[in-house]
Structure formats: C-alpha cells, structure tokens
Amino acid sequence: MSANGKPRFAMYWAAGCGGCEIAVLNIHEKILDVDANFEVVFWPVAVDTKYKDVEAMPDGSITLTLFNGGIRNSENEELAHLLRRKSQILVAFGACACEGGIPGLANLSTPQAVFEAAYDSVSTDNPDSIRPQSVWNVPEGELHIPEFYPVLKTLDQVVPVDYFMPGCPPESHQIAAVVDLVIQALQGKAELPPPGSVIGAGSSTVCDECPRARNVKLIRQYRRIQHLSRVDPTLCLLEQGIPCNGPATRDGCGALCPKVGAQCIGCYGPAQGTLDYGARLLSALASVVDGKEPEEIEQALAGIPDPAGQVYRFSLANSLLGASKEAWEQEEEIHEAAHHD
C-alpha cells in the first residue's frame, strides 16, 4: 500500500490498439471510484510516470495491474516481466493480452512480410524501402528501438497471469463490476475468484444472451453479411448462412453485435475449458452444413473466404498452432541466439 494507505493501481498498453484504455475511461463516474480507492502509480496514457519509477518500486507493491495488448516486441516483453514482479494481481486485460487479438493474426506471416505490408504497400511513400532497425548509428551515438519478434505472444505465454478479462475491448459494465469486486475484496467484503479465472464475462457463449430465434440449424451456403440484400431481424444469423461466431464465443458482452444485426466476430474469446477456439468454431460451422457430397460441402464453405481470419480473428496467438511454421522457426533462431550470448 502507498503512503496514503490506498492500494496501488497500474495500467499498461502493449501491442494493442488502445481501445482497452478508452474502455476503462468509459466506465464513466465509476472512474472516480478508481481514483478514490486506488493510488494510480503507473498509467502512461493517463499519468506521467517513467519505467524507471516502476523499477524503483518494491516488488509486489502494485496491488492491481491491468495489462492490455499482446507481446509483440522486446519492450512489451520487458514490461510484462517488470509489471509481473511489481504486481500482486496481474490481469490480462482485453482480447490482445488474453488471446493475442488482431495483431496476433500477423503470426501467419513472417516479420519481413509484415514490414513489407506496412512499409512498402501502394499507400506508403517510402522510395528507399526504409525499414525499422533495432540498432541505428547516428553522429550522436547508437540508438536502440525495441526489437520486433516474429511471433506475437499472449501475456500468459510470457509471465504468469492472475486473471483474464476478455473483450475487444472489455465491456464497460463488466469493467465496472470487476473494479467493484476488487474494491470489495480489498475491504474484506467479497472474495476474489481462484487465480487463473476469467473475470468480467459469462460461463456460456454469446447465443445464451442473443435474443434471435433459432431452429435446428442446417446451412446450404455460408454468405458474407454484406452480400445479403436482407437480413431477417429476428432469426439466428447463423441459420441465415451468416457465419456468426456467437456459438463459440464466451458471453458477457450482452450479444451486442447480433442484437444490432452484425455477426459476432468472437472478441470475447473461447468458452470455458476450450483449448482451441478456432478448432471448436470450425467444427461447429462444418457440422451444420447440409450436404453429403464433398462438392456440396465445399460450395457451402466457400462462403467463408478467409477461414483463418474467420475463426482465429482474435485468438490465433493462443491457438494450438500459435503461428506459422516460418514464424516459429525465426522465433527459435532468436531464442537460440540469445542463448549463445
């Protein structure tokens, strides 16, 4: 605890879009509770602190750290280790920290391909094909920027994590509830769930919260929602052939997307006890295809043009495969090189 007796709060933004930071601010007046109950000791987006300030803190002195974003580079990794050491409760906050999130989809490619897309595409004006370098010499001396890793990892693939809070971003009401719970627990009025738990989410899947009517599903043709002239407002989207990820995605969001006529894209991650989100979803999507002949089945599934993007949009880094073979090979090389140093 800090000098004023308040528990200490930290939040950190690794490889993610920043939406999680906004989501925390979006809890409206509850943010005042955070301020009233915690001393914010580290939150680069909100308060001016330096890494060295954190390094100077005693180990275990931060009560609660919300860590959002995946581990994409050496800086993310360093901060993951640092904050783990300094925190009592480390929460993987949001889809990227839990599952790798959208940036994790780059695990299908090598860093070279990622850089090419970022620095050499038609929309980029980069005539000399300049690429970021982790070490650069300038007259003033040697400059270092963080090293980009071939494989993006989830937070718990790098350090032990106490709780997982899914969502892209986590829904504000869920954040508020979690904040409440932690405050209550610190005051001895409530108990925290067992370590390793998923918090701020449900125990079933999105369909559980979805009001759309469903019959026994049989799909002759999957279709992208934007290709349909009309979407029935009350019937299950999947039954209309729209590949809705709701059946495989943990509930807790309140089925926001299907309620407004957009298919669930899976940001709340896998259901409890699911080892590989994409594998589960894919076997479900395939199970309901109405067809016996291989051609009929292919035809139905042809409506899902990017299967990996469909079923692993947020969870590739946390899947059984994790990344492409090429990406893993490069990742191993880096580790071996580090060993020899």
By CB under 6 A, name the binding residues for ligand SF4. 206-207, 210, 212, 214, 236-238, 244, 246-247, 255, 258, 264
Residue 304 makes contact with another protein by CB under 8 A: no
Strands (E), the chain: 8-13, 39-42, 62-68, 71-73, 87-93, 135-138, 141-144, 148-153, 163-165
The residue count of the chain comes to 341
Binding to another protein by residue 248, rule CB under 8 A?
yes
Three-class SS of residue 41? strand
Contact call for residue 271 and another protein (CB under 8 A)? yes
Give min distance, CB of 121 to another protein, in A: 30
Shortest spacing between CB 238 and another protein, in angstroms: 8
Contacted entry of ligand SF4, another protein, none for residue 237, CB cut-off 5 to 8 Å set by kind: ligand SF4
Q: Does 275 bind another protein (CB under 8 A)?
A: yes
Give me the least distance between CB of 53 and another protein, in Å please: 34
**Residue nearer to ligand SF4 on the CB measure, 34 or 95:** 95
- Of the residues 206, 257, 267, 300, which one makes contact with another protein according to CB under 8 A: 206
Figure out which of the listed residues 189, 325, 339, 340 binds another protein, where binding follows CB under 8 A. 325
- For the bound state, the minimum distance from the C-beta of residue 71 to another protein, rounded and expressed in Å, comes to 15
Question: CB–CB of 281/248 below 8 Å?
Answer: yes
Buried b (16+ CB within 10 A) or exposed e, 101-120: bbbbbbbbbbbeebeeeeee
Cα–Cα distance, 191 to 186 (Å, whole number)? 9
Residue 183 contact partner, candidates another protein, ligand SF4, none, CB within 5 to 8 A by sort of partner:
none
* Residue of 88, 274, 299, 330 that binds another protein (CB under 8 A): 274
Task: Count Cβ atoms within 10 A of the Cβ of residue 299 and give its class: 0-12 exposed, 13-18 middle, 19 or more buried.
Answer: middle
Contact 97, 70 (CB under 8 A): yes
Nearest C-alpha neighbor of 326 from the set 2, 106, 90:
106
Stretch that binds another protein, among 1-9, 98-106, 187-195, 197-205 (CB under 8 A): 197-205
Q: Cis omega before residue 150 (within 30°)?
A: no
Residue type for position 275: L
Applying CB under 8 A, which residues contact another protein?
Answer: 203-208, 214-218, 236, 238, 246-248, 251, 270-275, 280-281, 283-284, 287-288, 321-323, 325, 328
